[in-house]
Structure 1
């Protein structure tokens, strides 16, 4: 489930000519400031982790923006995935990306060309050192699958397609079954295809939706899987994650459609029985309910990511904008459920929250609590802090807030967001980052939530200011990679140019 424990000396590969270290298990470079949490993710604890960090501190590691780009005729770098992509053919430009949509957007923004028929680009084999908001593709001289590697290579995604004769995920259409190759996904639940998705999940530790050191990978590897055998909706959640991520690494569009269809069916089957169980939570299903809420959230986030890569976009801007509230609701619902089920969890459960965290979430809109949080406000980038603090005034100046109830809701949300930012930026652990993020989604007033659901301009601007907190989690989770950019793009497209200036500054903090 969480993958085997890696030997410290085998996990990282140093590339001194570029000033990076590659995680062999995850197939990407780790940012210097994220090394400690990344080692913890791979179950390298205490003395081993500190010894390795001491050795790493003596290396000349570069920040992502300072890493040199390999020459375009360089052979593929070992341990990094290969991607089918495109290189811009405009004069003095070599911009690279992995989708036609992003290339069209590049030409529109960089070359002022809005006619897609006039876009000039060629196919290329690409790699990138980093992921998330630090992703930067570069061309290499090789074809997909041609790179030599002592592990594996991958295409269109971040997981590994196993080589050396080991079986990799195959399309169900090759099984020889007649009719719908997916079959009945509810009975029996662990058919051959389901077992493949289950195996895909268990071999991909970066798909586990744990929230830091208080939730051990062993808990997700043992307890949660045991719960999945007791509760069919949770097994559907695991299979949905496996199918969705399989779609992100599909070699053909047919395979992509097949995995995507399976993921949708697993999600639908799991959601129906999950909602039934949610009506009567008890000590026997509380752990499974919390785990499933995590699975369904990351499956939806990954679905948006893969839909974008294949050019499957929302039909209207309104449909696209609904994703903003969906993302907010996903985070809000997950922490609300975990808090509501605390009294039903078994003793010692990793899902148990500390009393101080519960108190903080319950009282984050209390003035005394906010004042304590403000002691940590110095950790927040001044540009972000000042922009959040000025929101009620600036929104009023633009006549966006039309009544006292809206103004009061935004004022409360502003105070809560300042407290959230203070907690997030003062955090020195993944668990602390989540606590900062959850403070806002859990504690904003109900009227603000209704404003966001109604796509109110003021609520959208406030949501955009929450996005920097989300971006701090991107490097830790596959499903969140580039989500901040997607959400900010959606918000900006739905604001007038004048109002959009209110979120221009915060983009510099991401």
Structure 2
């Protein structure tokens, strides 16, 4: 049964869930009204729709049965690539090879696996709900007509080779023709199309939106992809991120190396093309905003996966100050380029308030807020009398803003909420504080360490794949800067 304007909702009677076809997940029963508001369904139309929905049998997330693995995908629910554990009697499902390796280590005592493929199988996954109600189940996509034709062609060629109709030399010549310089074979273009297709179907749903955090995939496919089709460097940025996404999801296979190399090439194309055009004074603001957003995600990837060899040197480099500055630009543009940084958090609170239906705070913030509340007195105890009253006031302001951002970040289990809370903090702190960070001011570095531990780590915990492991690396960089100072060991007591 389809409901709502444009059939935005779909009721699946088999599983007794109400699916938002636009967001591509099921809506919890107690969050339907706020979800309709998110899609700008107001007053009379909303009341009539709620009345119709009230007649449906919708169960709580914990009561929804999961389909068997041989089932076709549930219509309206996004499909993600993942892994199934092959250990006898297990069958655990994960969305990344890294999490599957952690599962093998924690549940089966198998760390540093020499042959990952023998203990995990690539599968297609879906989940009815997100956030703290996420439960993956395996699905078997129905073969398309083109895949059936391709399979038939491969089978026919295999039979011909077995019958001796193709010699090994002929096959070798065919392979060489694909790779020959100047060849008219379309393989290179098809490779690019593969990354583009992967971005539109999978990667786009994993990235945070510059605008509405509740509509991320539509933002990337509806707003950014049209720009990429007009501007080569934007397309290069999308392809670089898509190749990275494939590399992380196929880390256990030899294909990962190819994806890494291609992501580095696409990244270089992005920044090389941007260097040539950045002096264009007539560059539209939305183009610069998009370029900066791509650069921010790629710089996060530099921290998370330094082995990928991404080239962001044409932008800002990969030091701590650089990524903070990049996130600061990102945060300042969340609402508009004309919005004062001090208003960002309020705007975020409004834009994210309708996304909390799948959210029960997954980890209490009281401990973190208490730690931030006590931080000024602890810093005074360890660091002694401050040299500058202005530095003290600016540092207190940064701590206060961090507390507000933490409250927002932990109000939802949605990655988009955590991401926008994280980038809002550097956008809201005073310019003088950024100067303190650049000058390796110890109080400023201590506050940044809390931002990393509380907000960057929060984004990681919400399964942000392109920041995976970045928080630990950033904290190590900050600790190394502090340890080199005279009071290093004492200062480390202030770290979270």
Q: TM-score, normalised by structure 2?
A: 0.58
TM-fit CA distance, 1:129 = 1.6
Query: Which SS does the other structure have where 2:74 is aligned?
Result: coil
Whether the 8 Å CA contact 1:12–1:22 is kept in 2: the answer is yes
Q: Name the counterpart of 1:165.
A: 146
Alignment pair present for 1:105 and 2:102: yes
The answer to whether the 8 A contact 1:129-1:136 is kept is yes
Structure 2 vs 1, CA of residues 404 and 253 (structure 1 numbering), >3 Å: closer, same or farther? same
1:461-503 residue CA offsets vs partner (Å, 9 max, x unmatched)? 332223477479x5xxxxx63567745565788989x979975
What corresponds to 1:466 in structure 2? 455
2:423 equivalent to 1:442:
no
**Deviation per CA, 1:178-222, whole angstroms, max 9, x where unpaired?**
247999xxxxxx956545655655667646844118999999778
- Unaligned runs of 5+ residues in structure 1 are 1-5, 153-162, 184-189, 315-321, 340-349, 365-378, 475-479, 504-510
The answer to whether the 8 Å contact 2:116/2:252 transfers is: no
Q: Is residue 78 of structure 1 aligned with residue 35 of structure 2? A: no
SS of 1:85's equivalent in the other structure is strand
- Contact 1:22–1:30 (CA under 8 A) maintained in structure 2: yes
CA–CA separation in structure 2 for the residues paired with 1:128 and 1:108: 24
Distance between the aligned counterparts of 1:84 and 1:363, measured in 2? Answer: 37
Q: Residue 414 of structure 1: CA displacement?
A: 0.7
* 1:295 to 1:100, Cα distance in 2 relative to 1, 3 A: closer
Q: What does the per-residue CA deviation read over 1:382-407, in whole Å, with 9 as the maximum and x for residues that have no partner? A: 4443333223345666x5x5773698
What does residue 270 of structure 2 align with?
270
Let me know the Cα RMSD of the aligned residues.
6.0
Structure 2 match to 1:342: none
Q: Please say if residues 97 and 137 of structure 1, whose CA atoms lie closer than 8 Å, have aligned partners that are also in contact.
A: no
Q: Which of the pair is proportionally richer in helix?
A: 2
**What's the CA shift string for 1:67-88, capped at 9, x where partnerless?**
6674877756534637552438
Secondary structure of 1:404's match? coil
Distance 1:200 1:136, change over 3 A: closer
Matched, 1:404 2:403: no
| Alignment check: 8 A CA contact 1:421 1:436 kept | yes
Distance 1:483 1:250, change over 3 A: closer
2-side partners of 1:119 and 1:75: how far apart?
26
Distance 1:293 1:52, change over 3 A: farther
Aligned residues: 418
Write out per-residue CA displacement over residues 217-271 of structure 1, whole angstroms, 9 at most, x where no aligned residue.
9997787666556644234334434544565677994554444433322221111
**Contact kept? 1:287, 1:351, Cα under 8 Å:** no
2:330 match: 334
Give the Cα separation in 1 of the matches to 2:229 and 2:297.
21
Distance 2:275 2:48 in 1: 47
Task: Give the Cα separation in 1 of the matches to 2:321 and 2:65.
Answer: 38
Q: TM-score of the superposition, structure 1-length normalised?
A: 0.57
Aligned match of 1:261:
261
CA distance in 1, matches of 2:282, 2:97: 49
User: Match for 1:387 among 371, 383, 386?
Assistant: 371
How far apart are 1:298 and its partner, in Å? Answer: 3.5
Structure 1 residues 49 and 166: alpha-carbon distance in aligned structure 2, compared to 1, 3 A threshold: farther
